[in-house]
Structures are given as structure tokens and as C-alpha cells.
Amino acid sequence: MAAPFDKNDDSVVVIIGTGAGGGVLANELAQKGISVVALEAGARHLPQDFINDEWDSFGQLAWLDPRTTSGDWRVAKDFSGLPAWIVKSVGGTTQHWAGASLRFQKHEWKAKTTYGDVAGASLLDWPIDPDEMDPYYTKAEDKLGVTQTGGREALPGCNNYKVFEAGAKKLGYEQVHTGRMAINSKERDGELACQQTGFCFQGCKWGAKWSAGYRDIPAGEATGNLEVREKSHVARILHNDAGKVTGVEYFDADGNIQMQKARVVCVAGNSFESPRMLLNSASSMFPDGLANSSGQVGRNYMRHMTGSVYGVFDKPVKMWRGTTMAGIIQDEARHDPSRGFVGGYELETLALGLPFMAAFLDPGSWGREFTTALDSYENMAGMWIVGEDMPQETNRVTLNTDVKDQHGLPVVNVHFDDHPNDIAMRNHAYEQGAAIYDAVGATRTFPTPPYPSTHNLGTNRMSENARDGVVNKWGRTHDIPNLYVSDGSVFTTGAAENPTLTIVALAIRQADHLASEMSKGNL
């Protein structure tokens, strides 16, 4: 059967979400001849639709449905209704991401074994052999066209990178380069190369950055095996008396409820929406929500230890020119407890335009301390800190039944408290970041607090034992054999690296597993 598919066709795999996990999985399955219906809450936005304007683009792409927050993280104070800066669009947050594509370090797959017991942390080893991931990482790098892998050239360094690199070298850092980026440094198979336009976060108008939205989704659709239903917001996942999922109820673009039958359901709505769908699907058979016999759905929410450092110089930098994330220092990504914390962090250049700099440099701040910083906007350089945060059971996504979305569904509350390890790591990174800029003559530096989360991980975590998590090593829920999770919510631990490459590699691997199970008659 070729797409489009009948709603009563129970032979299709239904994938909820079309981002790095769901979008890639949809294409990979379609390439294997498997029929897929992908339900996407957002609309389709292609490169020609993207807007080189921070707030206008935010209004176009960001997921702005209501959410609530609690906990001691500063985001809950500064952006109480916006815990995450993620995207509602075909392609999900791959429309917005910067493109940094880093493999985990081998030891990061075994955080519990490597770090030992950390008080207050619910550390666990991934139930995956790191060596098993190597070929999948290679496939993911080839799919995304990652620079400095597979013989692909590095991107050139922009002004912001040059300041960062010079400071890093003065400090003696050695692993400093323009990154492994899913941005074409050369034209590739008819795709354009990077034009150093900036606005990577607003969607690449050249299509030079990989996005599932305009690469994997059209490739999958071209096979005739993939149907994407846009503006389709899932309400709940249905199951039968045997405890298997049978289909999905969703609101269509007109707000009417529809039902699509399914052979397998793969949930890939990012780390808030995925647990939300499982929890909102509670039934008499599964009163705590689907796949939640362990009580772990929504727990162990991780967002990476983040922060930024901006430096002001006595001469212009013009950091907004060129690739938004234009380079990396990896020396601090190692595990070295002598620094006062376990795990490590990456430093990556970052540039914001004036409108977002005003909003994010020091939210809530005002007066001359703040405005004199912006007066030097042209002379500013910037970097982002991304490091491993500790999973904690009490950092969790729960349903907030007091607040409903436009469909009348309970929204999520996102609770997050920083772990002492996160704070120690952030303080170390703030010091190193400032030292990098000081080394090349900064007249002032700013330890900027975390933005709304872009890396949302761990709310349906992968575990060897069913009692410790929600899914097994394939992303299959421990409780329901034909229900899978296919996004970053399966992360057992977060590692120091930007997560997209690993989400993509896991999705490619999951597609192989699903095809194998289906051919064996197990699904």
C-alpha cells in the first residue's frame, strides 16, 4: 500500500513527532519499504519560509503551547512559562539546532560505572555497548554531512571563532577547532554550502544545515511509504485488553478528533511531550499512564549543565556574522574529578542578535550595568557551555491538571533543581570561559545564566532492568511490546555532547531493529 494510508489500516507504524528521532526513523523505515504514518503537531516550514529575524522566527517555529515550571533552576524564574526553546514544525527542533554533531565519549555510556555513586544522583549505565554505536555514528555523520568526519572539510572560522580560538590557545587548550557540524562546508549532492549568514537558530535559508524537515522527511515521502500528517496533535495512545497499543487518537488541523490504527507506535515528541502523551494515555489497565509500571515516566529529566560567557573587547568582533556555533574547545569534556565534579563540558561559540542578547544576557536585569554591556554589543564575543548534568529522580515532568492546552489536555509541569555537581561544573566553566576572553584582552566578561532548555533528555530513560527506567536498549518500552520511544527522552545519562547526533544514530539503529522484529513476526 502506498501513502496516503487509511485510518483503519492497522499495518502501519505510527510515529509521533518528526524531529531528529521521529523524522529520521520515519525516513529509515520508509526506505526499508515499511508503511509509516507520521503525526506532527507543527506545520511544514521549508528554507524559503524561514525568517532572518529572531523574534519573528521564534513566533514562527517555537513550541509555545502552555507549560509550567517549578524548582530552583533560574529558568523557572526568568521564563516560567517557557522551560524549553524547542520547535513545533515538521522536522522538529532540527529546524532550529545549531548543528553540533559530536559522538559521546566511550566512558559516557557507562556513567554509573565511571563516576561511581554520586549523592542525590540516579546515575545508571546505558544498556548499550559503546562499540556497538560506532557504525551507527558513522551512518549518522554521513546522513548529516558532518564536517571533519568521513573526509568532509572543516568550516572556516568566523570572527567570533577567531577570538575564541586565540584565547583558548593562550590558555594552552589543544582540542580547539571549528567543530563537527551538520553544515555543509562544500556543496553536497545538490545541497548548498554554508554562506556564513548567521541565523542558524532561525532555520537555514540556504538549506546548508541538516534538518529532518527538509532532508529526511521529503526523502521518506518520495518512497511512497511515508505519509506525514501536519498539525496533528496527539491526545492519547490506545491499547487493547491484551496490553498492546492499537492506535493513536489525535486532533487534526481543524481541531477534530481522529483515530489512526497502528501495528507499532513510536513516540518521538521530545522529553516533555513524550512522557506527557504516555501519562495522558492512562486507562483502567494502566492507571499511572502507559509504560509506567516502574513509575519512571517523566523522571530523571536532564537539560545539560549550560550557561554562556560573553566577553567585551575594545575593538569590534561582530559575532553575529557567520555560523552561530562556529567552534569548540573539547579539553574540558574529559572526566577528571580533580576539578571538583564528575563528567565534563564542552565550550562552543555562540552568537545572539541584539534582540535576543537583550532578552537573555541577564534576564530581568536593568540599569547601566546591563545597558553598558549592550552598548558594546558590536565588540562582544560569546560562547555556550554544555556539560553533563546529573540525573535526579525528582527532576521530572508531571501532568499539571490545573492548566489545559488549546485542546483541553493537561499540560506538563517541568520541575528542575540543579545538582551540586551541576553547579560546581558551571562555576568551573564560567571561570574558564572568562579566562579565555581575558587572555585576549577582554575588558569585561559576563557569566550568563542558562536559557530555556534546548537539550531536553531523559524522561523515558533506557535501562537494563525494567524497574529502573521506561525503555530497553532498543527504545522498546519494558511494559508494552509494540510501543517504542524514539527521541532524546530515552537518554539514560546526558553525556557532555550536544545530543542530536546520538538521537539520530539511535533512530537509525532502532529502524534496523524494528525491521528485523517485523520480519520475524514479533511485531
371 binds another protein, rule: CB under 8 A = yes
| Residue 78 phi, psi (nearest 5) | -80, -35
322 binds another protein, rule: CB under 8 A = yes
162 binds another protein, rule: CB under 8 A = yes
Q: What's the min distance (Å) between Cβ of 366 and another protein?
A: 5
Among 112, 318, 334, 513, binds another protein (CB under 8 A): 318
H runs (alpha helix) in 171-304: 216-222, 270-280
435 binds another protein, rule: CB under 8 A = no
Quick one: 285 or 374, whose CB is closer to another protein? 374
Quick one: 314 or 402, whose CB is closer to another protein? 314
Q: Which three cell numbers mark 325? A: 556555533
Quick one: 52 or 465, whose CB is closer to another protein? 52
Binding segment (CB under 8 A) for another protein, from list 123-131, 196-204, 399-407, 464-472: 196-204
158 binds another protein, rule: CB under 8 A = yes
Please give the Cα distance from 328 to 326 (Å, whole number).
7
Please give the Cα distance from 276 to 448 (Å, whole number).
31
194 binds another protein, rule: CB under 8 A = yes
Total Cβ atoms within 10 A of residue 365: 11
Please give the Cα distance from 501 to 506 (Å, whole number).
9
74 binds another protein, rule: CB under 8 A = no
Q: What's the min distance (Å) between Cβ of 166 and another protein?
A: 5
Total Cβ atoms within 10 A of residue 182: 27
195 binds another protein, rule: CB under 8 A = yes
Among 374, 394, 423, 443, binds another protein (CB under 8 A): 374
Q: Which three cell numbers mark 469? A: 527506567
Among 102, 183, 440, 490, binds another protein (CB under 8 A): 440
Q: Nearest 10 degrees: CA dihedral of 40, 42, 48, 49?
A: 170
Q: Which three cell numbers mark 308? A: 554562556
What is the three-state SS of 368-406?
HHHHHHHHCHHHEEEEEEEECCCCCCCCEEEEEEEEECC
Q: Nearest 10 degrees: CA dihedral of 368, 321, 48, 361?
A: -30
Q: Which of residues 323-362 bind another protein (CB under 8 A)?
A: 353-355, 357-359
Please give the size of the binding site for another protein, defined by CB under 8 A: 42
Task: Sketch the per residue contact string, 392 through 431, with another protein: x for CB under 8 A, - otherwise.
Answer: ----------------------------------------
Residue pair 380/319 in contact by the 8 Å Cβ criterion: yes
Residues that bind another protein (CB under 8 A): 52-53, 55, 156-159, 162-163, 166, 194-199, 205-206, 315-318, 320-322, 353-355, 357-359, 364, 366-368, 370-371, 374-375, 377-378, 440
